[in-house]
Amino acid sequence: MSEAPTNQAYEYKDVKRILDLTILKIILAAANLQISDLFRGKETLTSDEIATLTKCNSNAMYRTLRALASIGIFKEVGNKVFEQTEVSRLLDTDHPSRMRDYVLMRGAQSEYMAFNKFEYSLKTGKSAFNEAHGVNWIEYLHNHKDEAYHFDRAMQMMTSTVTESLNTKASSLFNDSKNIIDVGGGNGTLALSLCKNESLAQLEKVTVFDLAEVVDRAKQNNSHEKLQFASGDFFGDIDVKADTYCLKSVCHDWGDEDCIKIFKSIRRSMEKQSANKEELRSKKIVIIEMGVPEDNEQHHVKFSDLLMMVFCDDGARERTPTEFQSILEKGGFELTNTIPLEVRNINAIEARPKVE
């Protein structure tokens, strides 16, 4: 019979993992109440002042701020007197990181309801979110505008961070590109950043390709002389002239068979535009996705993969490099280059058509 662990640090580490959920709920409350915004123009505030401004219980507010200060969110500088910290400022409603939006997104009741059904995903391999809410994630956001607002803001900032890294770490992937199509390009953030990349002087146009309603929204928020828009379904015909096809955060939304269908659709588009094998071989896909490490170490991407399993339709997942190589080959491509972007374990994966 094994003995109970006696190492205090080991025990605390395990307890802390359990407490992380409690900590998130407390941070969520601070974000909802916009406590960080109350410090604008003020060096310090007392917990009583904050309680009055937020219409909360004074004793409860002090105990909450004391707990938050213990993890670096606010700092107690006197008896019940608090000031901002670099971490607490992240919760400002107008902070460029949009961390408040991310906290509100991750802490939403809809997410907790979905994870309460985690065993459903575990037993069936199907979406627990769909089971909990009766609709899929996209339909849910369409009917819950507040959550959709915070989701969009959080995703836009995360995309901006990734595109900034892409344009510095992996710009070489586009050195021979004249016409790029951003397949499933969403709000156009990636496409616009490529248009503005001064090192890509040879670039003639970048086309955002997505469903009609998505493209209509992207048109309202983006403008550049090289930026174009086209609507369609990436499972069907992609009738846009291009030598480089970008897929950012698309593959993880789909199961292997659907990804293979997308790759085959892109390959058909490439073949239609190619006069010979050499021209076909000159075209490429650039996939921008998280990579699941192929070892036993703890890593956030392995848990992001479970988010995909819970939230998205059947088969959505993050993938290992080996898994990407497998579905690319089945879709008619071979992996030719992988460049780590050094952001959240995201890679830029280059693949070219296999030519006999």
Cα gap 84→68, rounded to integer Å: 11
Q: Is 144 one of the catalytic residues?
A: no
Token pair of 118, please? 């985690």
Cα gap 92→13, rounded to integer Å: 30
Cα gap 191→182, rounded to integer Å: 6
Cα gap 353→244, rounded to integer Å: 11
Distances (CA, A) of 167 to 162, 193, 228, 347: 9, 8, 19, 13
Residue count of the chain: 356
Cα gap 55→195, rounded to integer Å: 48
Cα gap 331→83, rounded to integer Å: 56
Catalytic residue, from 142, 150, 252, 300: name it: 252
Place of tokens 């710009």: 171
Which runs of consecutive H residues, i.e. helices, occur in 273-345? Answer: 277-281, 300-311, 321-330
Cα gap 247→333, rounded to integer Å: 14
Q: What are phi and psi of 87, to 5 degrees?
A: -70, -45
Catalytic residue numbers read 252
